[in-house]
Structure 1
Amino acid sequence: MSDSRPHVLFINRVYPPNTGATGAILAELAERLISYGWRVTVLAGPAEGEPASTVRNGVAVERVAALAFTRASTLRRALAYASLYPAFLARALRLSRPDVVVSKTDPPLQLVVSALLGRYWNVPAIHWAQDVYPEVAEKLGVLSQNGLLARLLRGVSTWALHRHTRVVTVGRCMQERIAARGYPKQDIRVVPNWPPETVRPIPHSENTFRKEHGLQDRFVVMYSGNMGLAHPFDAVLRSATYLHNQVPRAVLVFVGEGPRKARLQTLTAERGLDNVRFFPYQPFETLAHSLSAADVHLVTMQPSLEGLVVPSKLYGVMAAGRPALFLGPAGSEAARVLRENDCGSVLPTPTGKQLADTLTSWANDDAHRHAAGQRARAAVTDADARAATAFNRTLRTCMRAHHPRHIAS
């Protein structure tokens, strides 16, 4: 018996049990779309121990063979990415024709694959942009700014972008960046990311992370996530010296990994900062406890990346019912969310002293901090359901109104 449900194909490098934020959020959306009457297939990269074809919580998962992904070097990572594009195309062409194809930005030029498949199948293609490439690589110094390779990749990316029926971005700032590429703004939908469904506020008195690590009586300022090139930490470390005197019970806690972690640990030791501690990534099952262990969270982003990335870790912080201090551009989606919901502070270019002073004010006003945390939690309640509703509407609208987009080359 044939399946009469509309069929959507998602393409992304990672999908559970692979770790990775893009895969986790895709899995939650894919499973929700089934309840909206969709048949969902996900085309993903390899995962250790996983078969080439399987069904996971109602979602058909097809995996391709490719070079192992690594962050050990830029070249090896680029080669791993490059091996995925032809593998995705070849495998997709052996699948049943979907009604809509959706690409994410992992790997970065995935939208080329969805553009080609949309044309081949004559179905609407949607690009779900989590980042904007190659601009991110330029700003981080991975590619020369406006160099030959960057211009070539931008040209290919823009060509593919204009062959999508819709683009979905995770922030209003990113919508503006995409529109600046000449893509019609009216065809760009903003659907913010959402927190993991397991994250909820855990009172300090019941928090296992605080108990296990001797943090019961401390004012915990936490950075949780990737310590990567997109995240500045100079002001954060410098604030530790001032906090030592201003709030003796304060401790800066870094949870996670990333290319900058080793340097941060070295600087912490050299400066004798005994109020800074480091922990590895925490198991997904205990994420609610680790995020709720904080009194205030830090979210950081390089100013030059405004509109190119949106720090999704903010939504987990909000789900844990904690205020956040955003160290980044005032026009970023993260800054807008904090201002609109009055659940944190925005410091575009703070010094160590300015950050310490702001943290001190949060430490000394328990009522304000708790109220801000409650507003944060309320702002993301049912965010996953709202996002699924928006995606369902966008997918069905594209199906109904689809016609080939004719754009002069």
Structure 2
Amino acid sequence: MKKKLLIYAHYFYPDVASTGQILTELADGLKDTFDITVICVVPSYSGVVDEKYKSKRIYNEEYNGIKVVRVRVPEFEKGNKISRIKNLLAYFFNSLIATFKIKKQDYIFTISQPPILGGVIGVIGKWIKGGKLIYNIQDFNPEQTMAVGYVKNKPLLNLVMAVDKFSCKVSDKVIVVGRDMQETLKNRFNNKKVPTNSFINNWINENEIYPLKENHPKIISFKEKYNLQDKFVIMYSGNIGLYYDLENIIKVIGNFKDNTDVIFAFVGDGTVKSKIEEYVLSNKLDNVTFIPYQDKADLIYSLNAADVHWVVNAKGIKGVSVPSKLYGVMAVGKPVLGVLDKGSEARLIVEECNCGICVEPGDYEGIKNKITNIIENKEKIKLLGEKGRIYLENNLTKDVSINKYKEEILLTNTR
């Protein structure tokens, strides 16, 4: 008989959040080993909730043989803190109500989303339903918010740090997504009584995202639709949010506004997008374009449409988070323009396989020089991307990571 595994996913299919996609594929990969129940929000990553999900508190569904319990949340605006907090609290409390309605569990798996609450809900889930708790930290908080100065209230930061450390202590195992993040965990506990932990890379489905020829009809139509044809495309694809220093990087890009054969494409959305658009308009950067999020089925075409991809983190994010967009870039065999701290997981991978060039966050002159170098050595740079795909196939496939999760969950013992 299969062991029961409860996953608190926050976002889950069909939401396009990167953690939602990871957890959807993880649950799908584990369902032959475990009897899985997922608790998540109703589809709402965009901030909008469909009418059919507004009448009840809890919706019981099924996805590929996985029990999915969706909880109602209010709509929100990504740039509005209050509406976001209301949305997250609704997920937290409604998920607890949903937890009472399911059977006892052998394992509880939760992630660090929403920040702090993700860990707490796992702890409470363990108290309510029993089982061993696995806490998967995708981003360390409050370290992430501290790094970009999003919250500066010291007592509040100390409180949330204490809460998340407690979640780590109660967990039977903590799984992080980068080697640098293991160091952060050790530092949290001053190398004393560090919770049992391991590290497993995130992934992208390498059988769904792979290199395509430049003359592929879907790539040609994508380029025509967004006026990218006959241009050297340097692309940023993903969340245009707080933790990537894009407000300053766009100023560096401004130095290249007269390079008419180069175009800088931003694919996605997020809290910082309007600021960047404002800068582009006021400074007449005609070679910068904004493209909406692509459906998951079309991601392969947008990623392949670029010649080079940005993989960036703001200063101070080392050991706190790993930009998951790296795996998509490597999957399509494109070179990386990395703005990443030395010793960070993403930079370690780029340097190990030589699939791109990197510069320190905050080194704007260095970023400018790297872009110049790329433009002057276009063909040579393109060859680096092939090395990323080879490395990914050997070390970072979906099956490799999911099998590691399976082993780590099954090996989890209460201390």
- Asked if these proteins are the same fold (TM beyond 0.5), I'd say yes
Unaligned runs of 5+ in 1: none
1:23 aligns with: 20
How far the C-alpha of 1:214 sits from its partner, in A, is 3.5
Amino acid at match of 2:6: L
SS in 2 for 1:205: coil
CA contact (8 A) 1:25 1:196 kept: no
Match 2:243 to one of 230, 236, 243? 230
Change in CA separation of 1:365 and 1:186 when aligned onto 2, cut-off 3 Å = farther
1:125 is aligned to 2:133: yes
For 1:254 and 1:142, the matched residues in 2 are separated by 23
For 1:153 and 1:237, the matched residues in 2 are separated by 32
Mean Cα deviation higher: 86-95 or 52-61: 86-95
2:46 aligns with: none
For 1:64 and 1:275, the matched residues in 2 are separated by 43
CA contact (8 A) 1:132 1:309 kept: yes
1:388 aligns with: 402
| Same amino acid, percent of matched pairs | 27
CA contact (8 A) 1:131 1:308 kept: yes
Match 2:316 to one of 304, 329, 333? 304
1:273-288 maps to which residues of 2 (within 5 A)? 273-288=285-300
CA contact (8 A) 2:314 2:361 kept: no
How far the C-alpha of 1:385 sits from its partner, in A, is 0.5
CA contact (8 A) 2:247 2:276 kept: no
CA contact (8 A) 1:12 1:43 kept: yes
Cα deviation per residue 1:226-263 (whole Å; 9 max; x = unaligned)? Answer: 11111112553344344356x54211111111122122
1:218 aligns with: 231
Change in CA separation of 1:193 and 1:184 when aligned onto 2, cut-off 3 Å = farther
Amino acid at match of 1:393: E
SS in 1 for 2:171: coil
Change in CA separation of 1:79 and 1:28 when aligned onto 2, cut-off 3 Å = same
CA contact (8 A) 1:235 1:355 kept: no
For 2:264 and 2:156, the matched residues in 1 are separated by 40
Mean Cα deviation higher: 80-89 or 280-289: 80-89
CA contact (8 A) 1:14 1:45 kept: yes
CA contact (8 A) 1:238 1:353 kept: no
1:40 aligns with: 36
Mean Cα deviation higher: 314-323 or 88-97: 88-97
For 1:46 and 1:234, the matched residues in 2 are separated by 32
For 2:392 and 2:194, the matched residues in 1 are separated by 26
How far the C-alpha of 1:389 sits from its partner, in A, is 0.5
Amino acid at match of 2:118: Q
Amino acid at match of 1:227: I
1:315 is aligned to 2:327: yes
Q: Normalising by the residue count of structure 1, what TM-score does the alignment of the two structures yield? A: 0.90
CA contact (8 A) 1:296 1:322 kept: yes
How far the C-alpha of 1:175 sits from its partner, in A, is 1.4
1:134-149 maps to which residues of 2 (within 5 A)? 134-144=142-152, 147-149=154-156
For 1:84 and 1:253, the matched residues in 2 are separated by 34
Mean Cα deviation higher: 218-227 or 62-71: 62-71
How far the C-alpha of 1:170 sits from its partner, in A, is 1.0
Mean Cα deviation higher: 147-156 or 360-369: 360-369
1:357 is aligned to 2:369: yes
2:112 aligns with: 105
Match 1:9 to one of 6, 12, 17? 6
For 1:307 and 1:282, the matched residues in 2 are separated by 29
Amino acid at match of 2:156: L
Change in CA separation of 1:66 and 1:249 when aligned onto 2, cut-off 3 Å = closer
SS in 2 for 1:263: helix
Change in CA separation of 1:161 and 1:123 when aligned onto 2, cut-off 3 Å = same
SS in 2 for 1:173: helix
Amino acid at match of 2:198: R
SS in 2 for 1:204: coil
For 1:103 and 1:7, the matched residues in 2 are separated by 14
For 1:392 and 1:98, the matched residues in 2 are separated by 16
How far the C-alpha of 1:169 sits from its partner, in A, is 0.7
Count how many residue pairs are aligned between Structure 1 and Structure 2.
395
For 1:270 and 1:351, the matched residues in 2 are separated by 24
Match 1:372 to one of 381, 384, 402? 384
For 1:278 and 1:123, the matched residues in 2 are separated by 46
Amino acid at match of 2:246: F
SS in 2 for 1:127: strand
Change in CA separation of 1:27 and 1:363 when aligned onto 2, cut-off 3 Å = same
Q: Give me the CA root mean square deviation.
A: 2.2
Change in CA separation of 1:153 and 1:353 when aligned onto 2, cut-off 3 Å = closer
Cα deviation per residue 1:101-126 (whole Å; 9 max; x = unaligned)? Answer: 00012211211121222234442100
How far the C-alpha of 1:63 sits from its partner, in A, is 1.5
Unaligned runs of 5+ in 2: 44-49
Cα deviation per residue 1:239-291 (whole Å; 9 max; x = unaligned)? Answer: 4344356x542111111111221221221222222221221112222111111
Q: Normalising by the residue count of structure 2, what TM-score does the alignment of the two structures yield? A: 0.89
